[in-house]
Chains A and B, each alone.
Chain A
Amino acid sequence: MTGLGATMVRAGRRLLSSLPALFGVLVFTFLLMRVLPGDPAVFFASGPNAGKEEIEQIRKQMGLNKSVPEQLVFYLSDIGHGNLGRSMMTGQPVLKDLRERLPASLELTFAALLLALIAAVPLGVVAALRPGSIVDHGVRLFCALGVCVPTFVSGLLLIYVFYYLLGLAPDPTGRIDVFTSLPPQHTGFLLIDFLLAGDFEGWWTACKQLILPAVSMALFVIAPLARITRASMLVSLGSDFVRTARSVGLSWRKVVVTYALRNAILPVITIAGIVFSTMLGANVLVEKVFSWPGVASYALDALLSSDYAPVQGFVLLMASLFVLVNLVVDICYGIADPRVSIE
């Protein structure tokens, strides 16, 4: 399996080459947080009338009385030891907070991306098969609507229709309703944990909670995915090898799926990776609307209260995830396209 070996080597090289970028992100966010207005010590003092000494003491406790370079060195050494600091809001270590909340965000984003792909790829293919037809224009209209309605609006609309009017959806309050007990934690992904525990009723509850936020996020990203599928499918269908496939009389299914679509899906993989990373960071609106206990809303709250450590931890987490997602995309690409791995 030289192909697999080459892919692993590529993956390793890619990881190594992204380390400097991660370091840059670390330093940049650190400095950015220092530049932003607002003194965290004032925020976390016991009350509005806290005296100068008290604030000064908090500053000392937080290490804010040292110079910025010194703070940076402390920060970097902490990170080196796997310590992302402590959140002033929750009073817990940032690492613990993130670890608790990341699966919620990931589960939501994965579900949304999956939904988006399931909808977008067939839409793109159908549009490409009949360019200029009513179907094509319909897909275009749908995509345009999806992209121009902000996620919090579509989220609220969905809640209004499916929860308030129709009563089909459960309360939009988090990952699970209050009556269901949480499954033993293995992965943090409720859907998987419920399955592992064999609790199908619980699984269904979690699923119902997940659907509306996932759909409102998916609506927003169907457009780029469907458009890129359509465009690359058009190229694929017009290519010489599809003509070859037709020339030997291969069945319609074989021509469209095995020959055209498999080639057309390559750029979609890349775009899906980018879309995933964007969604993960940008789903704060959906998390807020649906009271989803994810990392994005956590980071937003921290930012608003000048809580340095969680924001820095969040940015580092996002940057690492971005690198990781790109790596996964790269590996997928290497597997899907034999031409890539030889480079």
Chain B
Amino acid sequence: MSEDLLRIDNLHVAFSTRRGMVEAVRGVTLTVKAGEMLGLVGESGSGKSVTGFATTRLLDAAGRVTGGRILFRGQDVTKLRGDDLRQLQGAAMSMIFQNPRAALNPIRAIGLQIADAILTHKRISKEAARAEALDLLRAVQIRDPEARMNAYPHELSGGMCQRVMIAIAISCNPALLIADEPTTGLDVTTQKVVMDLLADIAAARGMATILITHDLGLAARYCRRIAVMERGRIVEEASPGALFSAPQHAYTRRLVAASPTATSRIEDLVTEEERERYTAVLGKPRPVPAHGTPPLLEVRKLAKRFDQGSAAVADFSMTMSGGESVGLVGESGSGKSTTSRMICRLIDPSEGDIVFDGQSIGHVASRDFHRSPLRKDIQMVFQDPNESLNPRFTAFDCIAHPLTRLDGMRAGEALRKRVEECAERVGLPLDLLPRFPHQLSGGQKARVGIARAIACRPRLLVLDEPTAALDVSVQAVVLQLLDRLRRENDIALLFVSHDLNVVRMLCDRTIVLRNGGIVEQGESRALFDNPKTDYTRKLVEAIPHIETGPKLAAAL
């Protein structure tokens, strides 16, 4: 017992909402030993972050611990008040957050922010605190730390901000560090660097760490022990190997299966709702385009320069045939989103041409393209399903909007039929159509976004990170849905993503972008199995792998 640093006993946390009390955590029991790294994995709403916040006493005003104990070194954290609590926070346990840039004070120099944390817990002079802050910046491997001391968060990259956040969290050598989705939103390569750094620092200072994440692969790579949470409870706790080779709980099995791995195929992703319809489509042979058919899309030497003059995209050429799926991958700033927006004709290219179905559309100004008859043929699915739906439109209105604007349909029976048909095709229950976006779940909103994009029966669908904001199980459903739509309707997919595992599954071909130029392209599996350039290799190696795909498939 005494060796447990943290012991959570039957913890219950409830939030008071308009609809009364909602239990977010219902009976979590957990122990963390000194110096160990525990993974707390679950999908959104599973209560993993709430457990973390309850432990560090950072719950919102609406949240309350309604039962159980959190013993830290034998002391019940939930009963601490005032100064006792502040002596614990930061000094004995601290936290790292998702979205590092927002987690830092935007108008205070980072050196001062680190010094603030130090000065709270140590009686030393400001100069000494500054010197310590500088040492911490060195410890988290920030280049040119002297100059960075006076930098503001907006002058640093996301990865740099997370390093500063780590520096703040470890400034007083806490015994327990809780990292809440520390690398979500960072590039894969940055993710690896930051996680490696975090693991090294934790090991060097003997800190126990709880890694809260939705990414099973990430947890498997860095943790000896993983606890899986679902709906406020811990359903399974095991070593990564055991978890992946022989998951005991049904939810864990679903989660493991839905997590894309290096070898998984779309049909392996277990999703009950989509699977049946998907397998039905898989059996049908795809129509082979007749020899000599001109490509659906041809992009020639496309370039985009923004005001400053440096090229965001330069010399980008590609072709796509009907029904083909092409992945566009690269780190943030590689120009993949800019390229996809030019192809969608949402922004104007500086140079080059885009030929769609034999017609040059690169020179039609983007502000006029909505009048082009080809607007219907090129549609887009956006990254954030929450932000990309009009909050005052019902799901029906969202799907009907392109039909009325582009197909000239009027409100009436025909429109209703078309909208319902679209909803049916994306597997959106018809009784959800009168609802507003905030009344839909993330997966349902994603379906509305896709239904809207396919409403006018486009031939090319451009998807900008369509699953980045979704849980893995929902992502699995959406991926199967997209692939089914592609096969059923022969829609070409241009898929922009930073998730290489997803691209590998979904796309026939992949184009790797870096600094606005093409680094490498080719057939997806070959490209990932055998990268030719160092850059692609670095990208591939940075993905946290779960090396149990085939075994698991057999177990199921």
Which residues of A are interface residues toward B (Cβ below 8 A)? Answer: 239-241, 243-251, 254, 258-259, 262-263, 266, 336-339, 342
User: Which 5 A/B pairs are nearest by Cβ-Cβ distance?
Assistant: A248-B90, A249-B89, A249-B90, A249-B86, A240-B102
A254 CA to B113 CA, complexed, in Å: 11
- B102 contact set on A, CB distance < 8 A: 239-241
A241, B120: Cβ atoms closer than 8 Å: no
A254, B89: Cβ atoms closer than 8 Å: no
| B82-115 contact mask (Cβ, 8 Å, vs A): 1 or 0 | 0001111111001101010011111110000000
A sample of 18 cross-chain residue pairs with beta-carbon separation below 8 angstroms, ordered by A number, consists of A240-B103, A241-B105, A243-B58, A244-B95, A244-B103, A246-B58, A247-B58, A247-B95, A248-B90, A248-B116, A248-B117, A258-B108, A258-B116, A263-B106, A337-B106, A337-B107, A338-B107, A342-B154
A240, B152: Cβ atoms closer than 8 Å: no
B477 interfacial contact with A, CB 8 Å: no
The minimal Cβ–Cβ distance linking A293 to chain B, given in whole angstroms, is 42
A258 CA to B120 CA, complexed, in Å: 13
Q: How many residues of B contact A (CB 8 A)?
A: 32
The minimal Cβ–Cβ distance linking A6 to chain B, given in whole angstroms, is 13
A239 CA to B172 CA, complexed, in Å: 23
B104, A244: Cβ atoms closer than 8 Å: yes
A342 CA to B151 CA, complexed, in Å: 13
A241, B168: Cβ atoms closer than 8 Å: no
B165 interfacial contact with A, CB 8 Å: yes
B475 interfacial contact with A, CB 8 Å: no
For the A-B complex with A247-B94, A338-B154 known, give 18 more contacts whose Cβ atoms are closer than 8 Å: A239-B102, A240-B97, A240-B103, A244-B95, A244-B97, A244-B105, A246-B89, A247-B89, A247-B97, A248-B168, A248-B169, A249-B85, A249-B89, A249-B117, A254-B120, A263-B105, A339-B152, A342-B154
In this complex, what residue of A is CB-closest to B105?
A241
Instruction: Choose among A249, A250, A259 the residue that contacts B88 (Cβ–Cβ < 8 A).
Output: A249
A248 CA to B95 CA, complexed, in Å: 8
Of the listed residues A239, A243, A244, the one surrounded by the most CB atoms of chain B closer than 10 A to its CB is A244
A30 CA to B262 CA, complexed, in Å: 76
Known A-B contacts A254-B116, A258-B108, A259-B105; the reply to A244 vs B86 at CB < 8 A is no
The minimal Cβ–Cβ distance linking B194 to chain A, given in whole angstroms, is 17
In this complex, what residue of B is CB-closest to A130?
B61
B261 interfacial contact with A, CB 8 Å: no
- A339 contact set on B, CB distance < 8 A: 106-107, 152, 154
B56 interfacial contact with A, CB 8 Å: yes
Which residues of B are interface residues toward A (Cβ below 8 A)? Answer: 56, 58, 85-91, 94-95, 97, 99, 102-108, 116-117, 120-121, 152, 154-155, 165, 168-169, 171-172
- A249 contact set on B, CB distance < 8 A: 85-91, 117, 120-121
A248, B89: Cβ atoms closer than 8 Å: yes
A250 CA to B91 CA, complexed, in Å: 11
Known A-B contacts A249-B91, A339-B154; the reply to A243 vs B103 at CB < 8 A is yes
A336 CA to B105 CA, complexed, in Å: 13
A244, B168: Cβ atoms closer than 8 Å: yes
Known A-B contacts A247-B56, A248-B169, A249-B91; the reply to A263 vs B107 at CB < 8 A is yes
A240, B90: Cβ atoms closer than 8 Å: no
A178 CA to B102 CA, complexed, in Å: 59
A140 CA to B99 CA, complexed, in Å: 34
- A254 contact set on B, CB distance < 8 A: 116, 120
A181 CA to B371 CA, complexed, in Å: 76
A339 CA to B121 CA, complexed, in Å: 30
B103, A262: Cβ atoms closer than 8 Å: no
A247 CA to B85 CA, complexed, in Å: 10
- A338 contact set on B, CB distance < 8 A: 106-107, 152, 154
B169, A241: Cβ atoms closer than 8 Å: no
A250, B120: Cβ atoms closer than 8 Å: yes
B106, A247: Cβ atoms closer than 8 Å: no
A259 CA to B89 CA, complexed, in Å: 17
B165, A244: Cβ atoms closer than 8 Å: yes
In this complex, what residue of A is CB-closest to B92?
A249
In this complex, what residue of B is CB-closest to A239?
B102
In this complex, what residue of A is CB-closest to B117?
A248
- B154 contact set on A, CB distance < 8 A: 338-339, 342
- B86 contact set on A, CB distance < 8 A: 249-251
In this complex, what residue of A is CB-closest to B91?
A249
- B116 contact set on A, CB distance < 8 A: 245, 248, 250, 254, 258
A258 CA to B97 CA, complexed, in Å: 20
A248, B107: Cβ atoms closer than 8 Å: no
The minimal Cβ–Cβ distance linking A112 to chain B, given in whole angstroms, is 28
B89, A240: Cβ atoms closer than 8 Å: no
A297 CA to B165 CA, complexed, in Å: 57
- B172 contact set on A, CB distance < 8 A: 248
A33 CA to B58 CA, complexed, in Å: 63
A241 CA to B155 CA, complexed, in Å: 16
The minimal Cβ–Cβ distance linking A236 to chain B, given in whole angstroms, is 10
A337 CA to B102 CA, complexed, in Å: 15
Instruction: Choose among A243, A250, A251, A336 the residue that contacts B97 (Cβ–Cβ < 8 A).
Output: A243
The minimal Cβ–Cβ distance linking A127 to chain B, given in whole angstroms, is 15
A174 CA to B155 CA, complexed, in Å: 53
B87, A241: Cβ atoms closer than 8 Å: no
- A336 contact set on B, CB distance < 8 A: 107
In this complex, what residue of B is CB-closest to A259?
B105
The minimal Cβ–Cβ distance linking A125 to chain B, given in whole angstroms, is 16
- A263 contact set on B, CB distance < 8 A: 105-107
The minimal Cβ–Cβ distance linking A113 to chain B, given in whole angstroms, is 23
- A262 contact set on B, CB distance < 8 A: 107-108
The minimal Cβ–Cβ distance linking A4 to chain B, given in whole angstroms, is 14
- A266 contact set on B, CB distance < 8 A: 107
In this complex, what residue of A is CB-closest to B99?
A240
The minimal Cβ–Cβ distance linking A25 to chain B, given in whole angstroms, is 32
In this complex, what residue of A is CB-closest to B93?
A247
A248, B171: Cβ atoms closer than 8 Å: yes
The minimal Cβ–Cβ distance linking A77 to chain B, given in whole angstroms, is 40
Instruction: Choose among A248, A259, A337 the residue that contacts B120 (Cβ–Cβ < 8 A).
Output: A248
B89, A245: Cβ atoms closer than 8 Å: no
The minimal Cβ–Cβ distance linking B182 to chain A, given in whole angstroms, is 13
The minimal Cβ–Cβ distance linking B89 to chain A, given in whole angstroms, is 3
In this complex, what residue of B is CB-closest to A266?
B107
In this complex, what residue of B is CB-closest to A236?
B105
B95, A251: Cβ atoms closer than 8 Å: no
A251 CA to B121 CA, complexed, in Å: 10
A263 CA to B102 CA, complexed, in Å: 13
- A248 contact set on B, CB distance < 8 A: 89-90, 94, 116-117, 120, 168-169, 171-172
Known A-B contacts A240-B102, A258-B116, A339-B154; the reply to A247 vs B90 at CB < 8 A is yes
Known A-B contacts A247-B56, A249-B89, A339-B154; the reply to A241 vs B94 at CB < 8 A is no
- A239 contact set on B, CB distance < 8 A: 102
In this complex, what residue of A is CB-closest to B82?
A252
In this complex, what residue of A is CB-closest to B86?
A249
